[in-house]
Structure 1
């Protein structure tokens, strides 16, 4: 009996040593370019903590904000290189792997934020993200509303032609350039960190960004007019590296997706609430805030900067426009 008990104990001990630890932990790196005060960061931290909680700490996700792991282009490349496991990034960068997904940045494709959010639940969204995943290997798990992009300027703007010859800073991304160039503006790809100074010293006369960015970067201090061109309804994707996503169990994939989408909804709500209050905030500061003839802008862009120039597909554009 003693020998038998010893044998049983030995077998049990062997099984215990061979079996993976219940507390085994996978460490993941989550990178983005946004400041720690922004909801894109605070809700990423919430998501990381929530995943740890819901998986009994099987996953430890560390969030690296403010370009600590590289600029946005670096982060997108890092997904394939194993330098980063999760990122938040726009579809303008995803389009470098799969151009059709960039159609969501073509000016005036979305009527408003609700239209964008409806698109993220549509069949065309599923097809475009599947195309990106096939081309890149990476998985888009959630979409966060970033804000409607508007123009600030030192001259009044009411219609597209009023931008003729205007020196404007625009990110060096094809879809962002479409509206200003269609209206005859002279675009300049000044680094984002240098935009305030460039506006202040007159290197450029205008720039474009969401109202939340215009406030955060204090562009209103060096611009006379905020012009509600609303040319792009912007968004960010939560993207998981293909090497990470393929190793997750179906249950963990569902859990990650649920948490990422909850975080996106939380951040979206914060951005929408901030935007709603900012028009009056700017007016209270004595800044001119004006509407424009958006139909004029949209018509000019379609006529002068065809979406096919960016390798976008008209069929995708039409289907997105039809989403209710």
Structure 2
């Protein structure tokens, strides 16, 4: 089954995936894992998916959700889905870029202007093309959720300018764009799995990390980090993936329902994050974090944006970057 065919199925899911059709088949029990805590929007959206799939299939499709890295860290769960021992997982885009390298474009620093720009890219033709980049990996990208706008925390000092980052050991994702950006800023980028991060912060193995305020709060990173700077240096999308062969074997009606639910879930999850960004920041302040709300983002952008984009363009060309920039208009 090709990506184009699956896109057609998604568009026609409301017609194909009627309860009467689905109920004529045997029960389909699915398992989904993710590394975020139970208080995160990923968990809330996954539970919504479970309820929706059960309702629309008249109980013939069930989805059991395992949060908090219960089924392994990010790479482990990706490999489990590829092997077919886990049905569905979601994690940040950077953990997939070794399989689908062009996805790295989504993590280029200061690429996105605002959330309208993000939606036009992730939910449009570019997002479809990037999901198609999973072909041949054993994975199928059902939809693109989000981790969100990334900000910097650390335990050493307030960060107001790029100079303040110099020498800090910062946990990053394994994405080459993130690693290069922090190297250019003079930090010591230290990639590691998300499930290992709290312990690394608590033990002082790294000085800081970069994630959205919602995740900083939900993961209780503020217990090990004193300073937060709203750098908004990158936006991280989060592919929701399933095993491609298993999706084929479900049949058209069930695969259509799963894709439709996953894509509606992506829109709901991103909207949920928008609602929670402000309240999570307020809570982090109440919990004692010192917040630099208006760092000199232009200085940060001047150091990292052009060189990191040039590195991507050297390998993949500038077409994707140009089209994403054009989508900001």
Q: What TM-score results when the alignment is normalised by the length of structure 2? A: 0.82
In structure 1, list runs of 5 or more residues that go unmatched: 1-19
- Partner residue in 2 for 1:246: 248
Give the RMSD, CA atoms, in angstroms. Answer: 2.6
Point out the more displaced range, 233-242 or 27-36: 27-36
> Would the aligned equivalents of 2:170 and 2:190 in 1 still touch at CA under 8 Å?
yes
> Would the aligned equivalents of 1:307 and 1:314 in 2 still touch at CA under 8 Å?
no
Closer, same or farther: CA 34–157 of 1 in aligned 2, 3 Å: closer
> Would the aligned equivalents of 1:23 and 1:57 in 2 still touch at CA under 8 Å?
no
**Aligned-pair distance for 1:108?**
1.3
**Aligned-pair distance for 1:228?**
0.8
Closer, same or farther: CA 89–310 of 1 in aligned 2, 3 Å: farther
Equivalences for residues 1-324 of structure 1 within 5 A:
22=24, 24-132=26-134, 134-153=135-154, 154-189=156-191, 192=194, 195-196=197-198, 198-199=200-201, 202-290=204-292, 291-305=294-308, 306-308=310-312, 311-324=315-328
Larger radius of gyration: 1
**Aligned-pair distance for 1:195?**
4.4
1:247-271: per-residue Cα shift (whole Å, max 9, x none)? 2333333322221122223322222
1:7-57: per-residue Cα shift (whole Å, max 9, x none)? xxxxxxxxxxxxx99362122222222222322123212212321221122
Q: In structure 2, what is the Cα distance between the partners aligned to 1:265 and 1:283?
A: 28
Closer, same or farther: CA 217–66 of 1 in aligned 2, 3 Å: closer
1:108-150: per-residue Cα shift (whole Å, max 9, x none)? 1112333222211222222221122x23242212222222110
Please state whether the residue corresponding to 1:108 is helix, strand or coil: coil
Closer, same or farther: CA 116–304 of 1 in aligned 2, 3 Å: same
Please state whether the residue corresponding to 1:235 is helix, strand or coil: strand
Q: In structure 2, what is the Cα distance between the partners aligned to 1:70 and 1:221?
A: 24
Q: In structure 2, what is the Cα distance between the partners aligned to 1:286 and 1:67?
A: 27
**Aligned-pair distance for 1:309?**
8.3
Closer, same or farther: CA 111–200 of 1 in aligned 2, 3 Å: same
Please state whether the residue corresponding to 2:298 is helix, strand or coil: helix
Closer, same or farther: CA 46–287 of 1 in aligned 2, 3 Å: closer
In structure 2, list runs of 5 or more residues that go unmatched: 1-21
**Aligned-pair distance for 1:224?**
3.5
Please state whether the residue corresponding to 2:111 is helix, strand or coil: coil
1:74-111: per-residue Cα shift (whole Å, max 9, x none)? 22122221111111122222222220112101111112
**Aligned-pair distance for 1:185?**
0.9
**Aligned-pair distance for 1:157?**
2.1
The size of the alignment, in residue pairs, is: 304
Please state whether the residue corresponding to 1:34 is helix, strand or coil: coil
**Aligned-pair distance for 1:287?**
3.3
Closer, same or farther: CA 312–293 of 1 in aligned 2, 3 Å: farther
Q: What TM-score results when the alignment is normalised by the length of structure 1? A: 0.83
> Would the aligned equivalents of 1:140 and 1:240 in 2 still touch at CA under 8 Å?
yes
Q: In structure 2, what is the Cα distance between the partners aligned to 1:201 and 1:80?
A: 33
Q: In structure 2, what is the Cα distance between the partners aligned to 1:319 and 1:155?
A: 38
